[in-house]
Chain A
Amino acid sequence: MASPIIDASGIVKDYGAARALHGVSLQIGTGEFVALVGPSGCGKTTLLKILAGFEEPTDGRLEIQGKDMRGVPAASRPTRMVFQKLALFPHKTVAENIGFSLKLQKVSKTETDSRIRTMLDLMHLKPDYLERYPAQLSGGEQQRVALARALVSQPSVLLLDEPMSALDAKLKKSLQAELKKLHRELGTSFVLVTHDLEEAMMLADRICVMRSGHVVQVGTPADIYYRPANMFVAGFIGETNFLPVTATAATDGGMAVTSPLVVSGKTTIASEHVSPSLSAKGTALLVRPETIRFVKGDAAPGEWLLDGHVEEYFIKGASTQYRIRVQGLDAAVIMDLPGSIVLPAAVGEAVRIGFDPVQAFLLSE
């Protein structure tokens, strides 16, 4: 990255005896959209608050636009935040909420008015909302006002703390699309905190997956999805299958894998299908639900086969999900088949399933 707008290195944050962040390093480029993802308590919100200046790191160095941020209060940083619960001032009108930062900067009345108008247009808010109070707006409208309030001062970095978690699914989808469009139009750097990896994949240029105060993986959505660093990242994306295997180094840089559950034996996984951070502990093949099929005749060449019985199925419309109980596996195997009016198997039926191990991805705990 030529000139990162945010350069955090070795950020440590302690709350009393508890360590929330264990030396997190992350660079964010100018105009980049980065998502911080992880389960609750992973430290993503703490990191965002450190970027915003609401929390001071215990150790480590944070630079924004090349300047050391130690001791720089939130008010003097080129960042603006959209809060999880929005934090719109309930006693101020929409116009006063949006124009608050301009009032503090003593921007002239005409300039303030024109910038508020620009924000209204950008956020598709009606001008007659200006004199309303936040409580008189719907959830989606409040969201837009919160975005307008943050963007009106033309920040270099916009920080978003799970701003869409309280909205219903449909509204969330449309706001996500708008947020992406907004990012493209403005060229401002966006940092989004979310626990929803799907949302992060949709919106972000790069995703930083965090777990208990550590960065697990940083990469593009494609990296995260197709080349997850470990089972935690792979499992975080959604329901998937892990087949425990024994892996040994093969001659051409790939890995030779075997599974005690599969008689057909040994397969070589090419190096691009192997996680770069592979360790010996808990190696497994990541087999995606959509790559598994029912085998009712001959197996395809090289295909790995498993025998089990149908535990449950769910009709989802476009697809049908089957859960297959296989002897020797702790979790049921999940498979997503294209939806069809005729169901391929009934509950309790003994079935044989198969997948091509060459297409699977080798990783570890």
Chain B
Amino acid sequence: MRIESKSWNDPVLVATVAPLAVVMVAFFLVPLLMTAVLTFQTTQYYRLVWTWDLKIWTEVFSKPHYWTIMLRTVTMALICVVLTVLIAFPVAYALATRLKTFKTQIQILIIFAFLTDAVLKTFGWILILDKNGVANWLLMHLGFPPEMLNLLFTPTGTMIGMVYNLVAYPIFTIYLSLVRIDRDLVLAAYDAGASRFRTFFEVTLPLSRPGLYSGAVLVFVLSLGAFLEPKVLGGGTSPLASELIRQSFETRVNWPLGAALTMVLITTGALMLAACAAFALRRTATTRRPA
């Protein structure tokens, strides 16, 4: 359908778009605006006072504590992206090109693991990562010194949980990219004299970029908002942004501060995504599959 320049004059078009527009405005734009408005208020004796000043923003920008947490959140998210993609790519590659016989069974297992409640899975990791847990027990019996790993309630524990909970996203996006690659392109590279190794870097990897990018974006956005893992596996020793926001709203009952930190988190995420999108688009703008 061609979008006319005066499409708002078309009653059918307006009628079909209206419900979605209403939902988007009511449940996305309005809450966002309310959050933004909230940042310009203050609290007194745990009560919201409508003042319209920049007190909260002054606090946010003057206390390095908040920025340390923001920076840690972004760093953790980036590390999580790198780790999940590094794990997901070989898995997706094996699913797409090898493992012909058990492909469906493995996919079903991954989906089951993915759909199991994240709270349940995250608490499950305590059993493994605990000082007296499965991981240390196994290492001890393999001849390593007892209680070698001390991962529970550390940032590493948080990271393990985040990677585990998010790795299914890039597995599936990369898998979908890989299965779309025409097998003849790989043969054409062999035919031109390329080794398997060279073919992977010249053909397979560049053509799986859409899946890599979309998987990375999903993991990045979701790990920016990671809440459960730092709480359960990180033990609150090094909180991330979402925990800080929760504390501001619930413990300190300082809604304007929570709102301001939310805005900072959303803006940071959006800016980083925009930068990545610009980079990705520049590299793939003219690359389209032949008809």
Binding site for B on A (CB under 8 A): 52-54, 73-76, 79-81, 83-91, 100-101, 104-105, 133-136, 139, 142, 149-150, 153
| Residues from chain A with Cβ under 8 Å of B291 in the complex | 135, 139
Instruction: State which of A81, A85, A86 has its C-beta within 8 Å of the C-beta of B191.
Output: A81
Q: Is the CB of A133 within 8 A of B287?
A: yes
**A75-B286 contact, Cβ under 8 Å, with A87-B182, A89-B188:** no
Residues of B within 8 A of A80 (CB): 191-192
Contacting pair A74 B190 (CB below 8 A): yes
Stretch at the interface among B47-55, B91-99, B193-201: B193-201
B4 beta carbon closer than 8 Å to chain A: no
**Per-position contact with A for B167-203: 1 when CB-CB < 8 Å, else 0?**
0000000000000001011011111111100100011
Does A89 contact B203, Cβ atoms closer than 8 Å?
Answer: yes
Within the assembled complex, what's the spacing in Å between the Cα atoms of A245 and B244? 96
Task: Point out which of A53, A87, A142 has the most chain B C-beta atoms below 10 A from its C-beta.
Answer: A87
Known: A54-B187, A104-B193. 8 other contacts (CB 8 A): A52-B187, A54-B190, A75-B192, A89-B203, A90-B287, A135-B290, A136-B286, A149-B188
A87 touches B185 (CB 8 A): yes
Contact B194 A83 (CB under 8 A): no
Task: Indicate which residue in B184, B192, B203, B286 contacts A101 across the interface (CB closer than 8 Å).
Answer: B192
Given contacts A54-B187, A100-B189, contact A88 B194 (CB under 8 A): no
Q: B65 near A: Cβ within 8 Å? A: no
Q: How far is the CB of A101 from chain B (nearest CB, A)?
A: 4
**Bound form: Cα–Cα A53–B189 in Å:** 13
Instruction: Bits for B152-177, please: 1 = Cβ < 8 Å to A, else 0.
Output: 00000000000000000000000000
Contact of A81 among B188, B194, B207 (CB under 8 A): B188
In angstroms, Cα B177 to Cα A109, docked, is 33
- The residue from A54, A133, A149 contacting B192, defined by CB atoms under 8 A apart: A149
Q: Report if A90-B190 is in contact (Cβ < 8 Å); known contacts: A83-B184, A85-B182, A85-B184.
A: no
Q: Given the complex of chains A and B, what is the CA–CA distance between A52 and B192 in angstroms?
A: 11
Check B289 for interface membership: any CB of A closer than 8 A: yes
Closest to B194 in A: A104
Contact residues of A: prevailing secondary structure: mixed
Q: Is the interface of B mostly helix, strand, loop or mixed?
A: helix
Q: Is the CB of B207 within 8 A of A101?
A: no
A87 touches B198 (CB 8 A): no
Tell me which residues across on chain B come within 8 A of A133, comparing CB atoms: 286-288
Q: Is the CB of A105 within 8 A of B187?
A: no
Q: Which residues of A contact B284 (CB under 8 A)?
A: 91
Whole-angstrom CA separation of A139 from B290 in the bound complex: 9
Specify which chain A residues have a CB less than 8 angstroms from the CB of B287 in the assembled complex: 90-91, 133, 135
How many residue-residue contacts, CB under 8 A, span A and B? Answer: 80
Contact B192 A134 (CB under 8 A): no
Q: What 6 pairs between A and B have smallest CB-CB spacing?
A: A87-B184, A101-B192, A135-B288, A87-B188, A74-B190, A91-B287
Which residues of B pack against A, CB within 8 Å? 182, 184-185, 187-195, 198, 202-203, 206-207, 284, 286-291
Q: How far is the CA of A155 from the CA of B187 in the complex (A)?
A: 16
- Whether B191 pairs with A90 at a CB distance below 8 angstroms is no
Decide: A90 and B288 in contact? CB cutoff 8 A: yes
Question: Complex Cα distance A79/B190, Å?
Answer: 11
Query: Residue on A with the closest CB to B285?
Result: A133
Give Cα distance in the complex from A215 to B130, angstroms.
Answer: 70
CB atoms of B288 and A74 under 8 A apart: no
Tell me if B191 and A105 are in contact (CB < 8 A).
no
| A and B contact pairs by CB, cutoff 8 A, 13 listed | A54-B190, A73-B190, A74-B187, A75-B194, A80-B192, A90-B290, A91-B206, A91-B287, A100-B192, A105-B193, A135-B289, A142-B290, A149-B188
CB atoms of A104 and B289 under 8 A apart: no
How many angstroms between the C-alpha atoms of A76 and B202 in the bound complex? 18
Q: How many angstroms between the C-alpha atoms of A80 and B190 in the bound complex?
A: 10
Tell me which of B182, B190, B192, B287 has the highest count of chain A C-beta atoms within 10 A of its own C-beta: B192
- Taking the closest CB of chain B, its distance from the CB of A120, in whole angstroms, is 18
Please state if A88 and B187 are interface contacts (CB–CB under 8 Å): no
Contacts of B184 in A (CB 8 A): 83-85, 87
List A contacts of B290 (CB < 8 A).
86, 88, 90, 134-135, 142
CA distance A177 to B195 in the complex (A): 35
Q: For A138, give the chain B residue with the smallest CB separation.
A: B291
Nearest Cβ in chain B — how far from A233, in angstroms?
A: 30
CB-based contact A153/B190 at 8 Å: no
A48 CB to nearest chain B CB (Å): 12
Q: How far is the CA of A150 from the CA of B184 in the complex (A)?
A: 14
CB neighbours of B193 from chain A (8 A): 75-76, 101, 104-105, 153
Minimum CB–CB distance from A100 to chain B (whole Å) comes to 5
Contact A90 B194 (CB under 8 A): no
Q: How many angstroms between the C-alpha atoms of A130 and B193 in the bound complex? A: 21
Interface centre among B185, B188, B202 (most CB of A within 10 A): B188
A153 near B207: Cβ-Cβ < 8 Å: no
